[in-house]
Structure 1
Amino acid sequence: MEQAAIHKLHQMRQRYIGYQLVAGVFVAIACALLAGSVSYYLLPGKTTLAAILVFFTVLTVVTFIHRPWKTSLEIICSYLNLYFPQLEESSQLIIKPADKLNLLEQLQVIKLESAIVKLPGEPAIFTQQLKKAAWLFAAALIISIAILKLGQFSKIMPGTEGVNTNQSAQDLPPEKILPQIDGVLLKIAPPAYTGKPARTQDKFTINAEEGALVSWNISTNIEVKNVFLLFNEREKIALNSANKTDWQARRIISKPGFYQVSIDGKLSDLYQIQVIKDAIPVIHIKSPKQYTHIDAGEAQRVAINTTVTDDYGINNVQIFATIAKGSGESVKFKDTIFSFSTPFSAHRRRYDLQRTIDLPKLNMEPGDELYFYIQAVDTHQQKSRTDVLIVSIQDTAQLLSMDGIVAAANIKPEYFRSQRQIILDTEKLLKEKDSISTAAFKNRCNELGTDQKLLRLRYGKFLGEEDESGTEGEDNEEIGKAENFGNAKMVMDAFTDKHDNAEDATFLEPAAKSQLKATLNEMWKAELRLRLYKPQDALPFEYKALRLLKDLQQKSRSYVAKTNYNPPPIKTEKRLSGDLSKIAEPVNQQIVKPATDRFEMLKIAARILEQSKHKALSVADKRILELAAQQLAQQASTQPGVYLKAVGAVRRILANNKQISVSDRSLVEMAIQRSLPESKIKPSATGTTADMGLGQRYFNNLNR
């Protein structure tokens, strides 16, 4: 028992030391996060180095300050005495030598041994530093994310686009240069529409905006005769020099590819050219919806809320609208352009725009429609536009028209005219409100609400709703008779619902069912206002219900186009003559040549590379690899980041074919496989019948 108690004390000491070390790691990570987020903007390219340096520095300082490994068992015992009263503040007697204990202490040790072994846990002070360090880590994480977000937001704000971002050797991959080159300085001047300043770098690899002007300044350690740049193995640009050691050239970069530096006929490694394309503006419309219908009683205005973003800046945003007045052949269109009140002179990358269009000021009347779209132009004069949005004003006169009934060409069922009659009665009640008594007004409002309820229940039958009739009496009397006692069928018929429900009604399409539910909802709102003696508030809902019903009626129609056939006229002199001399069979002659496979050289090159594992390359193999390298070079001119390394690997294989490295071979094979199209015909196992083809041979013999 004594050994078990001492062993547990040692375990608690090790656990305490572990908690302190983990707390130090949390503190170091928190400081590293803060340092990394700050150095991301102050020292670009050295973020990782700064974070690692701060992490190890803080961890070393915190560890040597606390020195958890120097925690003794006496300190652990003092913590135990403080948090566990059953130890009676005498746990240090366990670690005291037995020959130095008196009789009373020996008795206390016997009591403490079982108490220490049965301790329920560990003191809270053990994890106190760890909890504080965890909270510090969480706060540092949140602050670091906030700093990064604020940094990204500052790039969007005006006046921050002009920060110079010089690229150093840490930003670009290492390069192989010719031994004659002493140094290189590239100046990349982005186009004016980007708003970015010119930057310099000491690498040949180019990552520039589309249309940027790149200037090369190459210095050599010896005097050379000529220096030129070879782009995509086709185009050459000579560099100029006054002293044969400093060479300059300029070129506008508009497409990706690769290039090489040639000094006195010796070519350098392949250098990549990446072009950053200018994206078109992105327009996100928050409101209104694509189809907006303004019902009677609603404000006749359209609130436009949109967000426009671009990678370099917005130059202008406008609303192009078309107003359609009238109907049929008398319809007239008028085009107009609306501008936003926000100025675009700052050319920011993001704009949150709002504009309210008052339709009456555009001389729009009920029945007219407004078609509009939003167009954005960036600083590169690239345009983008949204889909056309439609806003229409409800024409109450058209809803209440009787033209279809009078002409007998648009006969409406009875329930469509019932909603119209409710609207007419409501408007009549509003006109006579001042000339009738309050009791009569409320009575007529209640009657209109009853009519609206009956109409709503009539439509509810199409969705399987109850009719709210609530008949009682006869069936219950039959159930109460003695001879019907225990008749389960009669009880089920009397007290269970047999009607269809709204979800199982299948005689309507889902779209029609959804619109009919919306119609019932509007009828319920109108009924509620009528019951509250507010006919003026109920009128918009009545109009909307009528419009939805008319739309539902139009959707239920189907149109079948009339078709006819006009045969050519028959010549009576040739009818039934049987003369077929001028009727000849069609003859179609064509020479079909197999199409040349432009990927044949790549396929052969892949096979040669596989065979090169066992034998050296011949002259014919080198020629095929050269042709394959040309095709890969064409691919690298459009996608240098994917195929440029493979082109360099092919050249190394051709230069030293006796010792082909495994990495170069695999690199070229992967590039060839990536450039080959996917095979349409895939290998598959040939199917065999159960009779081993006996039935097919029997059928062939029958044909003989």
Structure 2
Amino acid sequence: MTAATILAGKLRSARTRRALDLALCLLPWALVAAAWAWRMQGLVIALAVAAAVGIAVIVVAWRSARRLDHAWLARRLNATRSDMDDSADLLFVSGESLNGLQRLQQARLRERIETTSGPELGPAWSARRLLLSALAALLALIAIGLWPRAQSGARDLEALSPAPQVAALPGQPRLIEQGLRIDPPAYTRLPPRSEPTLEGRVPENARLRWNLRFEPQPSAVELVFHDDQRLALARQSDGRWSAERVLTKPALYRIVASGAPEAQTRRLYRLDVSADRAPLLRVLEPDRGLSLMSAGQRSWPLEFEASDDYGLAANAQLRITLAQGSGENITFREQRLSLRGTGTTTQKRYAQRLDLASLGFASGDDLIVQLSVDDNRSPKLQTALSPSLILRWPADLGSEATGLDGMVKTTLPAYFRSQRQIIIDAEALIAQRRKLDEARFIERSDAIGVDQRLLRLRYGQFLGEESEGAPQLPTNDRDEPEPHDEPGQAHDQHAPAEKGQAANSAPEQHDEHAHTPKPAAPSFGEEGPVLEQFGHTHDHAEAATLLDPDTRKLLKAALDEMWQSELHLRQGHPQQALPYAYKALGFIKKVQQATRIYLARVGPELPPIDESRRLSGERAGLARRGERLAAANATDPLLESLWRDLEQSTRTTEPPPIDYTGLQRWLREHESRVPDPLAFAAAFDALRNEPECRRCRAELRRLLWPLLTRPPASVSRRGQGDAVDQRYFEALQQEARR
């Protein structure tokens, strides 16, 4: 034999040994998988699993054996035979690509291969690994054998269990076996199951199948539900009585067989329904409903989390609304995005990063988003909506504006922060002190101080204080010239300087309460002359007559504390401003609780008297004196009469009759008012079957009490008193007659 033939045979032998070794290690686990499938799902599934696992083992063993190639064989020859001179790789190289010395060495190696057999080159058998794998598989098979077998297949699910023994006379049909198969809706992915007791809790819209066996056989069998609905059972070829129904709400029922004993017919079975809950949706990012646009922000990250009891739809809808404009000129543009969640079927996360530039988001706009998620309920889906999230890009309030819109922007702030919000902002700023540099910290503290100032001015209006630092309305295009200036020079030469000086001195005048000694000439559109012409101004705190003196005192104290809080906030010391802010909040709360309000004294403005109707005798529109108040009717007279009958039955030996038909009709019409309709129906049915049962009456009264209408409050009549009180009252009456 040539060297090439010998080497090829050695390589095939090594591959065969490797494949057999790996297959022997994996085949016990294929047997374990088949045994588990047979235990859980039956023989057919077990055979399919065994075939699939066997094919997988063969593929894995073959791929592992193919890894043994010529390079591996050369390494094995160099490791096991010293006569290869570490040159075994020359055996698998063509002679044309070798030089003379290499061809000579190749010929020597081939001669040695042909003359000397050498040791076995295949991998050794892993006996230890085979033993451990076999032992582990054996333990798994024992565990599978001891595991309780799950019900599989329609035959196992419809297996009947023995029914409770009921005393019956000879010839009476007696229930001997029973079974209830429950097939949940397909979208719930719940497996079918069987209840041997004919009652339990089932999913909403589940299909129920009753299987009953009687001995001897009755002529007819039906199920009678608490709402008087009836379901007839059909007799099968094997002697069973079967019927199906889709259950949408809880129910009580009894089995009525012709000629059956009364104890068996009266027994009630209860079926509760587990409603399919709507999905739960939670916002993960952002952490607030209203977010303000930050400097340099180009995108808006959004993240939601949804969960459902049975499963969520594959996609969710993100509604994006862009509100642009101001005042009455506001336009809305809406679009929808489909988001695909990540996670399991019952819990998913939805993430989206909105590109603000592509949406056309600009200054003064609002971007509103809302996510809607559906579940997989059939036939009608349930939808959950997230809270609306708003991203606001505040408009530049300092920009130039004209007309009414400009007057509103320059004279009125957008909103006033409350004193509590100022405290919250100050505490949040103190908590972030280490993360902010000095300039940024002072800037944010100053911004909170500005909010404190606006709030102080707002409450100061109730004391008649002047508006400090109020900007002028930009309705006059040019200033009036001074008397000593020439027309046309005052505005051109002095207007810029005066405007800059006014802008720089406004805060100082506000802080020092300085007033200009000589007011400027009134111009068209300014609020001061308008108030002086059409209203009155509160120049002094004593002129305010809205609040009583005690309330004004509390409000003045609150303003003093706001002054101190504003002072420290504007200086960049929020920790020193907090005590004053808390005191101001306490005074404001006391002011809000004030009850006395003084209004200005004005004469009554009564409508004029119509003299034409006097002495005319017309009685149109006048109430009739003979009409009397009618007694109010009871909301539920049936319940009140039933309550009185049940109360009398506990005192007398002969209980009064009860309107069972009317009560059953009322229960069907007002089922939503009853916390547990099935318990009410069961107590009602027990009393109807045993009218003399006092325990049944007490139970029905207990369930009936929360349904009664609460009587209105009334003044109770005073008692007549004892004999001494009666003599005293009679003496008073005799004294009054004299």
Which structure is richer in relative contact order (CA contacts within 8 A, separation 6 or more)? 1
Q: TM-score if structure 2 supplies the norm length?
A: 0.45
Q: TM-score if structure 1 supplies the norm length?
A: 0.47
Instruction: Report the structure number with the largest CA radius of gyration.
Output: 2
